[in-house]
Amino acid sequence: MRPTPIDTSPPISDEVKETTCYMCACRCGIRVHLREGALRYIEGNPNHPVNRGVLCAKGAAGIMKQHSPAKLKKPLKRVGERGCGDFVEIEWEEALGIATAWLGRIRETDPKKLAFFTGRDQSQALTGWWATQFGTPNYAAHGGFCSVNMAAAGLYTMGGSFWEFGEPDWDQTRYFMMFGVAEDHASNPIKIGLGKVKANGAKFVSVNPVRTGYSAIADEWVGIRPGTDGLLVFSLIRELLLADQVDFDYLARYTNAGWLVIQDDGAADDGLFVRDEAGNPQCWDKTLGGLGPALDKNANPALIEARTLPDGRRAVPAFDLMARRFLDPAYAPEAVADRTGVAAETIRRLAAELAQAAFQEEIKIDQPWTDFAGREHDHIIGRPVSFHAMRGISAHSNGFHTCRALHVLQAVLGSIDCPGGWRYRPPYPKAAPPAVLPTGPVANPGDPLAGPPLGFPRSPEDLLVDDVGTPQRIDKAFSWEAPLAAHGMMHMLIRNAWAGDPYPIDTLFMFMANMSWNSSMNTTETMRMLTDKDPDTGEYKIPHIIYSDAFDSEMVAYADLVLPDTTYLERWDCISLLDRPISEINGPADSIRQPVLTPDRDVRPFQDVLLDIGTRLGLPGMVDEQGDALYPGGLPDYMLKHERKPGVGMLAGWRGADGAAKGVGAPNAEQLDRYIENGCFWTDSIPIEGVYYRNVNQAYRAYGEAMGFLDTPDPVIVQLYSEVLQKFRLAAQGHGSVQPPVTERDRVARYFDPLPMWYMPFEEEAVDREAYPLHALTQRPMVMYHAWDSQNAWQRQILGSNRLYIARSLAARLNISDDDWVWVSSEKGRIRGQARLMDGVNPDTIWTWNAIGKRRGTWGLDADAHEATRGFLLNHLIGDVLPNEAHANADPVTGQAAWYDLRVRVEKAASSDAEESWPQFDPLPSNAVRGAPAVLRYGAEFREGS
Ligand code: SF4
């Protein structure tokens, strides 16, 4: 008898819509299967350039995000005391009326009294523009507390960086070294890339205090001590220099290694480059036997030896200074081994392996190209060594210089944007730094800002400070506190707003930023600041708080007005080249989200609401001369019509009236249709002769200019020696028209070193290291990205509470066993959590998963959910200011929040201590108010016969 055939692929849906995932920032293409309009299944889009069909666990769990009971349902107005979670539901008209009234008053009187900050959103091209049109400089997204050190160090050094700015040449690299990357970041692209590295037999080395996630499949794990990555990189560079394993041709042509640096102690131009009258940098040209233009086609710069200038002063090539710095015996492998926790012989071997891959496994591609100076090359050289780094090296107070050192290492190996090396992703590289300056407050209320709020200062004159050095932004970004704070300093926002320092604000308007919980340092104190009142007036010190989010996070209770957002499956979005694009190394790309589901609640997309408020306020660029909305259809209308400059809009594909143009072209009314037909993305290919060495490649520079994402065809010369930093140091030494206050001079002079440097992280330096002998870290797990994910019914089944991970050797010394309750103490306070012992962690380091711990009553979870009773945050232990309270707990150059400088001690809890995480806070009533089912079910309706 023949068996009854089984249908192994029954139809699961009656409709499939393509859009873009937003369960993390990778923005993979997805196909959403619907049955009778209901969400049935999500799969990866095999045609999409980011993920080629791969879908991770997070992406699949988008279904349960859509079904989350924590979704906000309607606008809310606070009726009880702030922080108690007492709200009434109101209609949108009333909500928008309240917001418009508050913001309208501010705009008419003092626009900087609006602080508009967003979290891990992906719409900064819109939100930053909106702040500009409103006229407030007090705008930023979450970059300042994430990885601005990494971004700024790269952008100031080579016009690009890791993450969205570039990625390894996964296909051709022979040696891949990854520093401090949590597994939630660049999730699918890295996993796909690591698969290629492994399949190709290339070596993968992970430098990370913790061996989880990507590190778990590394060929070699280097369990470094937190905050010492810079020392390791210094030592690697030293070894390469000593062994003469350096690409001198690359350094001479495409970096400023040969540019002469004036050596004239005390002079106003000490440490600046020797330039001709037109400002062109000069080298000591070995062919000419004298000074010559460093960027000339025939330049033959000397890289070492002091020279005498025509005025009798000395000048030294930047490389000479750099080599002296790195050759210091303080960076010998033996000298750094104890401090880094990496054996001297390991450092030597790693350096030798880097050199072997770069120089002995050189790739040669017979592809002619022409460099910026007009030199024609008949082939391309590849040095197949690549690097990637993220928050792990960035979130330290010494992170900027560590990241810069890593880029110098890339340059020494000649491995920037070459075959097998680390590669730029368009629209990068931009100028180093990008030619955008931050803009300060407006002189006349009602005017828009003259430029964007965020940018890249090139000299002290570009800072946002007044005549006596007082910061002009509420977060003190671009002040002497953090001059190169390119992404703002969101982590200082609430403290400064509470203190009225440098001035009081009126309204805090935040989107998707859980600042009363896992997105703040010093969380307990932050909650107090959000609710603190002026004893004289009885008014809150931060008078108004507007908050928008899709979910009932801990921050909702601290708002006066809540504007509920949609989920990512219910709205349009724009992943633009003007923002944080999804480009691949061989060509630019952008994408959209389209709504695939209709909201079943009274919620609106935040971007639409923002444009609506802007229209009600009559903001320039949002209304016409009659005051009518320019974008009445909200974000999709804006995506189609808005032009940032003539012909350049939010989307680069299918531009022009007929849709035939790319990059630059008139708006096209059918553009979104074309995107949808193409799977919601657009890509383009760089001309073959412009694919490599794009910072100095004529063909690429011309392509980028024609596409509208490069303003000039000028080359981006790698800045080993940073004249920008030296200008700030000179100001601190008393030169120039804009100088730091006396109290800041030593700090600026020390940390604005034009060459990479290493110093002990501030907290480690300041605390009693015997009392707090351990480093403490957090990271997000591979299955979760936002705090949003630890309320997701599927994701929380994988990780429902976090543990404190401790090396077995350390645990034995402390008499701690698996599952014991332990106290963790820092100078700021104590927390209690449960221990888990492991092998793959640096023995001086403890760590945990971040943002698993929830406050009781939030996120639609049961009040006794493990996330609340066993989950915990390290945030309570981390200071937002340094122990001396004089500065933010941040990098002194960029203001990057120093999350990972934390020092702690661990003790076993007493048997009489409660077996519950601590601290606990009053439960919020939102769960009871808005209700959540005891058991969350999905899919029963799709069963056959149901
Ligand atoms: S990697 Fe990120 S964007 Fe891609 S499927 Fe997973 S969650 Fe979605």
Block residue for tokens 């070294």 = 177
Residue 439 · residue 450 · CB < 8 Å: yes
Ligand 1: which atom is nearest the Cα of residue 27? 3
The span from the CA of 166 to the CA of 173, in Å, is 14
Give distance in angstroms: CA of 675 to centre of ligand 1: 20
Is 784's C-beta closer than 6 angstroms to any atom of ligand 1? no
Q: pLDDT exceeding 90 applies to what percent of the chain?
A: 90
Residue 812 · residue 894 · CB < 8 Å: no
The span from the CA of 475 to the CA of 496, in Å, is 6
Tell me, what's the pLDDT at 847? Answer: 98
- pLDDT band at 414; cut points 50, 70, 90: very high
Distance from CA of residue 78 to its chain's centroid?
Answer: 33
Q: Where are the beta strands (DSSP E) in 733-858?
A: 774-779, 804-807, 821-825, 830-838, 845-849
Ligand 1: which atom is nearest the Cα of residue 44? 5
Q: pLDDT averaged over the chain?
A: 95
Q: Which residue has the higher pLDDT, 68 or 121?
A: 68
Tell me, what's the pLDDT at 928? Answer: 43
H or E segment and range at residue 207: strand 203-207
Ligand 1: which atom is nearest the Cα of residue 56? 6
Section 407-424 average pLDDT:
98
For residue 420, which of 240, 176, 194, 678 has the smallest C-alpha distance? 176
Residue 190 pLDDT exceeds 60:
yes
Pocket test for ligand 1, best of 20, 27, 30, 51 (most atoms within 8 A of CB): 51
Tell me, what's the pLDDT at 929? Answer: 47
Tell me, what's the pLDDT at 881? Answer: 95
DSSP-assigned letter for residue 302:
-
Flag whether the pTM goes above 0.85. Answer: yes
Q: Considering Cα of 362, then 364, then 369, then 370, what sign does the dihedral take?
A: positive
Section 346-369 average pLDDT:
98
Section 885-901 average pLDDT:
95
Q: Which residue has the higher pLDDT, 854 or 929?
A: 854
Tell me, what's the pLDDT at 773? Answer: 98
Tell me, what's the pLDDT at 837? Answer: 98
Tell me, what's the pLDDT at 926? Answer: 63
92-109 confidence digits (pLDDT tens): 999 999 999 999 999 999
Tell me, what's the pLDDT at 283? Answer: 98
- pLDDT band at 940; cut points 50, 70, 90: confident
Residue 142 pLDDT exceeds 70:
yes
Section 801-828 average pLDDT:
97
Residue 494 pLDDT exceeds 50:
yes
- pLDDT band at 122; cut points 50, 70, 90: confident
Pocket test for ligand 1, best of 22, 56, 782 (most atoms within 8 A of CB): 56
State both tokens at 157.
Answer: 């050094």
The span from the CA of 522 to the CA of 902, in Å, is 12
The span from the CA of 143 to the CA of 150, in Å, is 10
Tell me, what's the pLDDT at 184? Answer: 73
Give distance in angstroms: CA of 185 to centre of ligand 1: 10
CA dihedral 190, 196, 199, 204 (to 10 degrees): -50
Give distance in angstroms: CA of 54 to centre of ligand 1: 8
- How many C-alpha atoms does 880 have within 13 Å on its Cβ side? 24
Is 20's C-beta closer than 6 angstroms to any atom of ligand 1? no
Q: Which residue has the higher pLDDT, 119 or 185?
A: 119
Nearest residue CA, atom 8 of ligand 1? 59
Section 652-657 average pLDDT:
97
Is 24's C-beta closer than 6 angstroms to any atom of ligand 1? yes
Section 445-474 average pLDDT:
97
Residue 420 pLDDT exceeds 80:
yes
Residue 604 pLDDT exceeds 70:
yes
CB-count exposure of residue 43 (10 Å: 0-12, 13-18, 19+): middle
Tell me, what's the pLDDT at 18? Answer: 98
The percent helix, strand, coil of the chain (3-state, each to 5) is 30, 20, 50
Section 828-844 average pLDDT:
97
Residue 144 pLDDT exceeds 90:
no
CB-count exposure of residue 200 (10 Å: 0-12, 13-18, 19+): middle
Beta-bridge mates of residue 575: 591
Give distance in angstroms: CA of 686 to centre of ligand 1: 26
Residue 98 · residue 482 · CB < 8 Å: no
CB atoms within 10 A of CB 684: 17
- pLDDT band at 945; cut points 50, 70, 90: low
Q: At what angle do helices 229-242 and 399-412 cross, to 10 degrees?
A: 20
State both tokens at 494.
Answer: 């609430």
State both tokens at 483.
Answer: 């001059």
Section 404-432 average pLDDT:
97
Ligand 1: which atom is nearest the Cα of residue 26? 3
Pocket test for ligand 1, best of 19, 26, 782, 792 (most atoms within 8 A of CB): 26
Distance from CA of residue 104 to its chain's centroid?
Answer: 32
Is 26's C-beta closer than 6 angstroms to any atom of ligand 1? yes
Is 23's C-beta closer than 6 angstroms to any atom of ligand 1? yes
SS (H, E, C) 626-664: CCCECCCCCHHHHHHHCEEECCEECCCCCECCCCCECCC
